[in-house]
Structure 1
Amino acid sequence: MSTQNIDRGWLHERLGTVVLWALLICTESAGQLFTKVAGDQLGQMNFNWLWLSEVARNPGILAAIASYIGAFFVWMLILRRSSLSLAFPLSSLVFVVVLLGSWLGLGEHISLLHWVGVGVIIVGIGLLAEGEES
């Protein structure tokens, strides 16, 4: 087997992993944001049949459920390629994307302390990734 085929396989595998991570972060973050919007639309939770029928028909809830189902299958694929000790901490990037989505898409105020927390998460992920054995 030539070095060129080995390099291409490594790049293909690495690119596939990056794509899977992007899909996971997007689907999980979308699920959170859809749930927030749907929850705001549904208002007060009175656990009765009428409210449950509204939940079952709400497009935001349906989109959130679809997002979480997609995220589950992508997560399964990621775990086939990665160790759980690295994958689980990397999944905390969802916190960063949800924060950005709530700020940019929902107009929520994000405090300085929250931004510092985002920085800590990113630095922590970088340290974990750096310490990962190849």
Structure 2
Amino acid sequence: MIRNKTDWLHERLGTVVLWALLIGFESAGQIATKVGGDQLGQMDFNLQWLLAVAVNPGVWFAIACYIGAFFVWMLILRRSSLSLAFPLSSLVFVGVLLGSWLGLGEQISVLHWVGVAVIMGGIALLAEGEET
């Protein structure tokens, strides 16, 4: 089969877009869960709490994000080996850290930033060893 010279670019670009979507969905889902939980406050686990969860917009947004992430993850796994894809999914940690810092105003320690650098370095090593 003769492949167009730009096919590899479209495949790479598509993969990058899928990863960006996964990281976005997963990070937004985590942050929305945090916001929804904060909105609910300190409540006992009972029927009133379940009803409050059921009508909380943050919870519904988080659920939508997790559903989106599930379908994107399925598409990623069609393109990638699980042995590479699963470690790459740790980029979500970076997305959540950045989102909680920028969106929620959380304080991030130097040790957290070192952790981000270690994650990024590990991903770079994994990607370097992957066959194309």
Q: Which residue of 2 aligns with 1:113?
A: 111
- After superposition, what is the alpha-carbon deviation per residue over 1:19-72, rounded to whole angstroms, capped at 9, x for unaligned? 100000000000000000111110124111111011010000000000000000
What stretches of structure 2 of length at least 5 have no aligned partner? none
Identity of matched residues, %: 78
Q: After the TM superposition, list the runs of 4 or more consecutive aligned residues in structure 1 that deviate by more than 6 angstroms.
A: none
CA distance in 2, matches of 1:18, 1:35: 26
Q: Which residue of 1 aligns with 2:81?
A: 83
Q: Which residue of 1 aligns with 2:14?
A: 16
- Compute the RMSD of aligned alpha carbons: 1.1
Q: Which residue of 2 aligns with 1:74?
A: 72
Q: Normalised by the size of structure 1, how large is the TM-score?
A: 0.95
**1:14 shift after superposition:** 1.0
Q: Which residue of 1 aligns with 2:62?
A: 64
Structure 2 residue corresponding to 1:33, chosen from 31, 39, 49: 31
What stretches of structure 1 of length at least 5 have no aligned partner? none
Q: Normalised by the size of structure 2, how large is the TM-score?
A: 0.96
Structure 2 residue corresponding to 1:102, chosen from 84, 100, 103: 100
**After the TM superposition, which of the residue ranges 121-130 and 40-49 deviates more from structure 2?**
40-49
CA distance in 1, matches of 2:10, 2:45: 49
Q: Which residue of 1 aligns with 2:125?
A: 127
CA distance in 2, matches of 1:63, 1:119: 30
Matched residues, number: 132
